[in-house]
Amino acid sequence: MRTGFVFGAVGFFIAATAISDRHESVGDSIPGLTAAQKASFTDGRTEFITAEEVDEGLGPVFNEASCVACHSVPAAGGGSERLVTRFGKMTNGVFDPMEYAGGSLIQDHAIDGFQPELVPAEATMNVHRRTPPLFGLGLVDAVPDGTFFLIAAQEAQRSDGTAGRVAMVDDRVHGGKSVGKFGWKAQVPNLRQFSGDAYLNEMGITNPLFPDENAPNGNYDLLKNNPMPAMNDTGDGVDAFTNFMTLLGAPPRSRMRDGDSGENVFERIGCASCHVATLRTGSSDIAALSNKTFHPYSDFLLHDMGSLGDGIVQGNATGREFRTAPLWGLRMITRLLHDGRATTIEGAILLHDGQGRSARDRFVALDAKDKQKLLAFLKSL
């Protein structure tokens, strides 16, 4: 377990330079890179937007042929309304991802000679997940694991029923367990693993971190017809994706800002209990990421969301838990919540349940003026 620690997780970061406030354009690299790092970012972006081909290992089943096919709004590295499907069932009260049937992620495309996957008839859960944006994730990756434990401890001390939980997940890069920070269920601990996972599970390209091909709906006999049975990527592609995401800048705040009044309401009704405004990175080999303050509006912890949970167990998360979704870049997201069911910010707030229910109820009780201030603040993120 990696537990490097930087003094002051929540309340002591304000004095440091705030990266996201200086960053101007969505989709640019973080400021302060060397020439070599800028080149790595550009090369990674090229790989990110380039469609894979069958002779490069695409498939046999996959979701899209390129990363940008899903991560495109409002720029390469963003999100989109593209949904993926997950499934499973409960067996003797325990979640079954139905690995024998290719679970729990559906690959809805296939190369010639293969058929896209279908949700098995015996599955009792069939849910959707929205494509989230990737902006600023290099900053999140550079936060020491110990910071998240401190945040969780501080939240527990409040004793208000909203404390989050650190997700400890398998770390294929460093070995052992590390803090999960990425994915809807905080099931991924670092951007390199995130890249390797996406390469295999979204594009069907095997790589050193994920060397085993996905069998269509779990039928391994079909893989005898796989046109590219050898390792598809030796690690160069994973490196390129990792470099692009690591160096991708945080989403800038809107120039249309209403001062602090809306954020005061945000804090007063309890939204900031989980959507923590400010974090700080630790020491990094990349100077532009080293000891920097940034504002993701998330604690990156798991929270019980009650009826909003989708029943899917991933990593260390239960079926009722989700990682707190970062709110930076919120104004650029057109469909909200994990499954895109909400089309407005207010609609997403009203669907909060579980540990988010109290803040939701306080939102409902706001007068029209304070509600307008809060929504204006959220639309500036």
Q: What pLDDT is stored for residue 265 in this prediction?
A: 97
The DSSP result for 34-78, as a single string, is -HHHHHHHHHHHHHHHSPP-GGGT--SEES-SSSTTTS-BSSTT-
Strands in 125-131's sheet, in edge-to-edge order, are: 94-96, 80-91, 125-131
- Listed as ranges, residues in the chain with pLDDT below 70 are 1-24, 256-259
pLDDT of residue 258: 61
Spatial separation of the C-alpha atoms in residues 87 and 314, rounded to whole Å? 11
4 token code pair: 């490097």
**DSSP run (H or E) holding 292:** none
Q: How far is CA 241 from the centre of its chain?
A: 15
DSSP string, 72-125: -BSSTT-BEEEEEEEEEEEETTEEE--GGGT-SB---EE-TT-------TT-SE
pLDDT value at position 271?
98
Which residue, chain included where needed, has tokens 């994706």?
241
Measured distance CA(211)–CA(59) in Å, rounded: 13
Supply 155's token pair. 């939240």
Cα separation, 345 vs 364, in Å, equals 13
145-173 tens-digit pLDDT: 999 999 999 999 999 999 999 999 999 99
155: Cβ–Cβ under 8 A, 6 or more apart, which residues?
162, 163, 164, 273, 274, 299, 301
C-alpha to C-alpha distance for 327 and 254, rounded to whole angstroms? 13
Nearest to 230 by CA among 211, 247, 249, 210: 211
User: Would you state the pLDDT for residue 4?
Assistant: 35
Q: How many CA atoms lie within 13 A of 112 on its CB side?
A: 4
